[in-house]
Amino acid sequence: MAIIPQQHMNIIVCIKQVPNTTDVRIDPATNTLIRDGVESVINPFDTYAIEEAARLKERCGGKVTAITMGPPQAENALKEAISLGCDEGILVSDRKFAGSDTWATSYTLAAAIRKIADFDVILCGKQASDGDTAQVGPGISAHLNIPQVTYVKKIVEISAGAAKVERMTEEGYDIVETPLPCLFTVVKEINTPRLPSFKGMMRAKYAKLLKWTADDIEADPAALGLDGSPTRVVKIFTPEARKGGEILSGATDDVSKELVELLKDLVI
Amino acid sequence: MASIAISLDKCTGCSLCVKACPFGAIHMANKKAVIDMAKCTLCGACVTACKFMAIELKKDSAPKKDLSGYKDVWVFCEQKKGVIQSISFELLGEGRKLADKLGVKLCAVILGSGIESKAAELSERGADKIYLVDHPALKSYQDDPYTEVIVNLAEEYKPEIILCGATTIGRSLISRVAIRINAGLTADCTGLDIDPTERLLLQTRPAFGGNIMATIITPNHRPQMATVRHKVMQEAAVDKSRKAELIIKRYPEEVFKSRTKLLEIVEEISETVNLSEADIIVAGGRGLGGKEGFEMIGKLAKVLGGAVGATRGAVDADWIPYSHQVGQTGKTVCPKLYIACGVSGQIQHLIGMQSSKVIVAINKDPEAPIFKVATYGIVGDIFDIVPALTKEFTRSLKK
């Protein structure tokens, strides 16, 4: 990464606490999700955003602020972010946020970021592992009216007012230049996140988190939570679980022939 | 403000709501249900489950807006290098059904540079009307001008539904548009339907990696917008006799301004086809043992005209680039045929491929979880079976 040294970057990382999918199991009797004892973790994609923020800070100097909207226990995610290199954590939490869809969530986070005021780069994971929408990152940049580059796999250059990045596409990647401030959503390929350091863990333990409510971020109450969400969930159901099928057995050549025969309508 | 409350008089402590809650937000205390508001998303699943009408969900009482000015179903048709992407034809196929149910027009929206000749392709695929914006700044996708043009079009012509592919471009673009025009947006839908009485778009999508499905509506905002997963909907058939009305829109230069600048488009995936577009995927996991294993996988994929996929384990071991990764931190795919070779089938991988139509699993461990989702399984050594399959497919395809 080509960096012009000795400058100050204000970096914001947006994170989300999600249930650990490895723990998600279906109760075969009721066909519903078993949530008991499911551990909450930082959304896997956000860990790459945190790492990239920490790296930008190490190279340019500056400050990294982690921000999350969620229930009080989302504090743990912020503390973990601090142990991984963030300097500050802001928990945006209010009963008024309950039922937020991606519109209201990005509105709320954008309002909180406006209160932070001074920022050069906003980093988000490309999507969260529970909702999988990939809509909140672009939503925040739209609310803030700043440019965005999604699916960033490399920050090639970054200087005081501009950055050059690689955006992953279905066929390869685009090289994109953007002025700052800009919002980037990042993919896994961008880095390998570090483990928390002992120093980081100590810092996290004593870190004082900022807690902001709807009033603190001067949000329009009509734009918050379920009331501020254009979409409504009307039904939730468990899809029919896929069942294992037929096991083919026999000598290699025989099973190969059998399988090719079974698949002949799919393979033309 | 919306709220949810349990009437302690009516609650019998039956705990049906506890089971119904997808978010684990309800527990029993003193034989009554208690909702943990920190976890509750006000989805209403418990309200439906309760047989005693003991749960009351109060939603906003905002007056119903007059939405009658919005009509037609729009499909954003993605083009790359002037080639209309196949997802657009899938959306036109699905959009046709929705438009017919609503009794409105199906409109294709296409942005690009030098693309006027492409309009015919869209009318053949069932569009009644085509909105075309042609400008050098729209040659390749860029967030700012694309957003600005779609916002302008939607504000002027007021569609009631906009569909867009859940692709890199689609998700980046339409998320921004939704905020700008204050519309509801549902991501990555796998099922769409119409509620004819309310003219609502019923959007069904997987969440938690496909462990639950949710149906989502946009009651009071228009347009109703959705991104749709690749390969789920049927492509519209070609009908050469169809002629759509073509509307070529022009805008002042400022609409096309972009803050970001696209310097270069690099294409990497040359030897294989794009994973999310592939009808057939042959994937390898840790069982391949190394880079060489993927050569074997590549040969089978080539014979089948398919793409090569990989598990996170294989990608993390540097046997194959990340762009091939299928699963939670990679791509979600839904091909007609998915052949998993030496893939154990961890939940994170299954999330990304379990909606494939036919799954074949080849693994030496008969207990591997991949067999639980496989249509056909072969227990055995991939280094014997995969080359044998390659040979057999080559032979049968030559016929």
Å from A71 to nearest chain B CA? 5
Q: Which residues of B touch A96 (CB under 8 A)?
A: 1
Within 10 angstroms of residue B100's Cβ, the number of other Cβ atoms is 13
Q: Does A144 touch chain B (CB under 8 A)?
A: no
Q: Which helix (H) or strand (E) holds B20?
A: helix B16-20
Residue A199 is assigned to a structural domain of this protein: yes
In this structure, are residues B370 and B363 in contact, taking their beta carbons and an 8 Å threshold? yes
Cis amide leading into A221 (omega within 30) = no
Q: Which residues of A touch B376 (CB under 8 A)?
A: 245-248, 259, 262-263
Residues B284, B313: Cα–Cα separation, whole Å: 10
Å from A4 to nearest chain B CA? 20
pLDDT band at A87, cuts 50/70/90? very high
Contacts of B61 by beta carbon, 8 Å cutoff, 6+ apart: none
Q: Which residues of B touch A77 (CB under 8 A)?
A: none
Residues B203, B219: Cα–Cα separation, whole Å: 12
Q: Tell me, what's the pLDDT at B188?
A: 92
Q: Does A168 touch chain B (CB under 8 A)?
A: yes
Q: Does A71 touch chain B (CB under 8 A)?
A: yes
Q: Tell me, what's the pLDDT at B232?
A: 85
Residue A115 is assigned to a structural domain of this protein: yes
Beta strands in A40-191 (DSSP E): 40-42, 62-69, 88-92, 121-125, 148-158, 162-168, 172-179, 182-186
Q: Does B143 touch chain A (CB under 8 A)?
A: yes
Q: Does B172 touch chain A (CB under 8 A)?
A: yes
Q: Tell me, what's the pLDDT at A100?
A: 92
Q: Tell me, what's the pLDDT at A23?
A: 61
Closest to A21 (Cβ–Cβ): which among B178, B262, B348?
B348
Nearest chain A residue to B188 by CA distance is: A133
Q: Tell me, what's the pLDDT at B271?
A: 53
Q: Which residues of B touch A42 (CB under 8 A)?
A: none
CA dihedral B126, B242, B335, B164 (to 10 degrees): -30
Select from A27, A96, A132 the residue whose CB has the most chain B CBs within 10 Å, as the one to mutate to test that interface.
A132
Q: What is the mean pLDDT of residues A262-266?
A: 88
| Residue corresponding to tokens 């390869």 | A172
pLDDT tops 70 at residue B139: yes
pLDDT tops 70 at residue B55: yes
pLDDT band at B100, cuts 50/70/90? very high
Give SS3 for B388: helix
Residues B393, B390: Cα–Cα separation, whole Å: 5
Residue A247 is assigned to a structural domain of this protein: no
Question: Residue B165, Cα to own-chain centre: how many angstroms?
Answer: 7
Closest to B217 (Cβ–Cβ): which among A22, A73, A231?
A231
Q: Which residues of B touch A33 (CB under 8 A)?
A: 22, 24, 208, 211-212
For the ranges A120-129, B6-15, B36-45, B346-355, the lowest mean pLDDT is seen at B36-45
The answer to whether A221 contacts B1, with C-beta atoms less than 8 Å apart, is yes
Q: What is the mean pLDDT of residues A214-223?
A: 95
Distances (CA, A) of B94 to B91, B99, B105, B337: 5, 9, 13, 22
For residue B136, give both structure tokens: 């050098």
Residues B266, B268: Cα–Cα separation, whole Å: 6
For residue B72, give both structure tokens: 């037609």
Q: Which residues 209-268 of A have a C-beta within 8 angstroms of B?
A: 221, 225-227, 229-239, 242-249, 252-253, 255-257, 259-260, 262-264, 266-267
In degrees and rounded to multiples of 5, residue B289 shows phi and psi of: 75, -10
* DSSP secondary structure of B321-348: -GGGBBSTTSB----SEEEEES----HH
- Exposure string for A215-252, b = 16+ CB within 10 A, e = fewer: eebebeeebbbbbbbbbbbbebeebeebebbeebeeeb
| Highest mean pLDDT: which range of A22-31, B75-84, B231-240 | B75-84
The answer to whether A30 contacts B19, with C-beta atoms less than 8 Å apart, is yes
Q: Tell me, what's the pLDDT at A34?
A: 61
- Residues B324-361 have pLDDT tens digits of 999 888 888 889 999 999 999 988 898 889 889 999 99
The answer to whether A139 contacts B179, with C-beta atoms less than 8 Å apart, is yes
| A127: containing domain | 2-223
For residue B182, give both structure tokens: 């204050």
Mean pLDDT of chain B, nearest integer: 91
Give SS3 for A55: helix
Q: Which residues 58-77 of B have a C-beta within 8 angstroms of A?
A: 59-60, 62
CA-nearest of B358, B239, B270, B257 to A244 is B358
Q: Tell me, what's the pLDDT at B270?
A: 57
Residue A262 is assigned to a structural domain of this protein: no
Q: What is the mean pLDDT of residues A32-50?
A: 83
Q: Decide the pairing of beta strands A88-92 and A62-69.
A: parallel
Distances (CA, A) of B339 to A237, B211, B354, B356, B381: 28, 22, 12, 10, 14
For the ranges B163-167, B353-357, B373-377, the lowest mean pLDDT is seen at B353-357
Q: Which residues of A touch B40 (CB under 8 A)?
A: 98-99
In this structure, are residues A109 and A69 in contact, taking their beta carbons and an 8 Å threshold? yes
Q: Which residues of B touch A151 (CB under 8 A)?
A: 168, 172
Residues A5, B172: Cα–Cα separation, whole Å: 31
Instruction: Give me the count of residues in chain A.
Output: 268
For residue B351, give both structure tokens: 């999330």
Considering only residues B23 and B250, tell me which one the structure prediction assigns the higher pLDDT: B250
End-to-end CA distance of chain A: 46
- Residues B180-216 have pLDDT tens digits of 999 999 999 999 999 998 899 999 998 876 777 889 9
The answer to whether B216 contacts A131, with C-beta atoms less than 8 Å apart, is no
In this structure, are residues A132 and B327 in contact, taking their beta carbons and an 8 Å threshold? no
Q: Tell me, what's the pLDDT at B22?
A: 76
Q: Tell me, what's the pLDDT at B57?
A: 85
Q: What is the mean pLDDT of residues A150-163?
A: 95
Residue A192 is assigned to a structural domain of this protein: yes
Q: What is the mean pLDDT of residues B253-262?
A: 97
Considering only residues B249 and A235, tell me which one the structure prediction assigns the higher pLDDT: B249
Q: Decide the pairing of beta strands B358-363 and B376-379.
A: parallel
pLDDT band at B20, cuts 50/70/90? confident
Q: Which residues of A touch B264 (CB under 8 A)?
A: 174-175
Instruction: Give me the count of residues in chain B.
Output: 399
All structural domains of chain B, each given as residue ranges with its CATH number in brackets, are 3-58 (3.30.70.20), 73-256 (3.40.50.620), 275-398 (3.40.50.1220)
- Residues A221-258 have pLDDT tens digits of 999 998 999 999 888 887 777 777 889 988 899 999 99
Within 10 angstroms of residue B5's Cβ, the number of other Cβ atoms is 11
Q: Tell me, what's the pLDDT at A191?
A: 96
Closest to B214 (Cβ–Cβ): which among A150, A177, A235?
A235
pLDDT tops 90 at residue B397: no
Residues B97, B106: Cα–Cα separation, whole Å: 9
Q: What is the mean pLDDT of residues B4-30?
A: 88
> What is the amino acid identity at position B347?
I
Q: Decide the pairing of beta strands B3-6 and B55-58.
A: antiparallel
Nearest chain B residue to A136 by CA distance is: B175
The answer to whether B348 contacts A242, with C-beta atoms less than 8 Å apart, is no
CA-nearest of A261, A237, A229 to B41 is A229
The answer to whether B265 contacts A174, with C-beta atoms less than 8 Å apart, is yes
Q: Which helix (H) or strand (E) holds B35?
A: strand B32-35
Q: Tell me, what's the pLDDT at B331?
A: 86
pLDDT tops 90 at residue B23: no
pLDDT tops 60 at residue B151: yes
pLDDT tops 60 at residue A1: no
Give SS3 for B27: strand
Cis amide leading into B223 (omega within 30) = yes
**Whole-angstrom Cα Rg for chain A:** 22
- In chain A, the number of structural domains is 1
The answer to whether A226 contacts B391, with C-beta atoms less than 8 Å apart, is no
Q: Which helix (H) or strand (E) holds A50?
A: helix A44-60
Q: What is the mean pLDDT of residues A117-130?
A: 94
Q: Tell me, what's the pLDDT at A39?
A: 84
For residue A82, give both structure tokens: 């601090």
- Residues A8-36 have pLDDT tens digits of 899 999 999 998 866 666 565 555 556 56
Q: Tell me, what's the pLDDT at A25?
A: 62
Residues B389, B264: Cα–Cα separation, whole Å: 40
For B235, how many CA atoms within 13 A lie in the half-sphere containing its CB?
16
Q: What is the mean pLDDT of residues B45-55?
A: 88
Contacts of B40 by beta carbon, 8 Å cutoff, 6+ apart: A98, A99, B4, B23, B25
- Residues A162-186 have pLDDT tens digits of 999 999 998 889 999 999 999 999 9
| Residue corresponding to tokens 């049968």 | B396
Domain CATH for A60: 3.40.50.620
Give SS3 for A23: helix
CB pairs under 8 A between A and B: 313
In this structure, are residues B161 and B201 in contact, taking their beta carbons and an 8 Å threshold? yes
Q: Tell me, what's the pLDDT at B124?
A: 96
**Whole-angstrom Cα Rg for chain B:** 24
For residue A179, give both structure tokens: 């002025």
In this structure, are residues B308 and B283 in contact, taking their beta carbons and an 8 Å threshold? yes
Å from A96 to nearest chain B CA? 7
Q: Tell me, what's the pLDDT at B2?
A: 74
pTM of the prediction? 0.87
Give SS3 for B73: strand
For B121, how many CA atoms within 13 A lie in the half-sphere containing its CB?
18
pLDDT tops 60 at residue A80: yes
CA-nearest of B279, B281, B288, B289 to B309 is B281
Q: What is the largest CA-CA distance in chain B?
A: 73
Q: Tell me, what's the pLDDT at A36?
A: 63
Q: Does B369 touch chain A (CB under 8 A)?
A: no
Residue A256 is assigned to a structural domain of this protein: no
Å from A229 to nearest chain B CA? 7
Q: What is the mean pLDDT of residues B111-117?
A: 96
